[in-house]
Amino acid sequence: MDLVEEGILKRAVATKDNEISLLQRRIISLENSLTRQRRLGNISATRLRDLRDQVLEKIKESKIKLYTQPTRLF
């Protein structure tokens, strides 16, 4: 592997790491928002669980996409 290929590979890994970090921050923000709505009484506990289950399903789908989609290098 030459230096150019190594640089491209490092950039691809960094890009995926950044995408995963962004996804994790969005998940935390969404969870905080749902918890806040529950405390305010705007959402029932059952609805909160349902929404969290939906979020977890979307997370799984997103992770699969992150790892299977080609990375844009340029």
pLDDT in tens, 28-62: 888 888 888 889 998 888 888 888 888 788 777 77
Task: State both tokens at 43.
Answer: 């959402």
* Number of separate helices (H) and strands (E) present in the chain: 2, 0
Nearest-angstrom CA–CA distance, 34 and 40: 10
Cβ partners under 8 Å of residue 59, min gap 6:
23, 27
Which residue has better confidence, 32 or 66? 32
CA gap 1, 68 in Å, rounded: 23
The pTM of the whole model exceeds 0.75: no
Q: Residues for the chain: how many in total?
A: 74
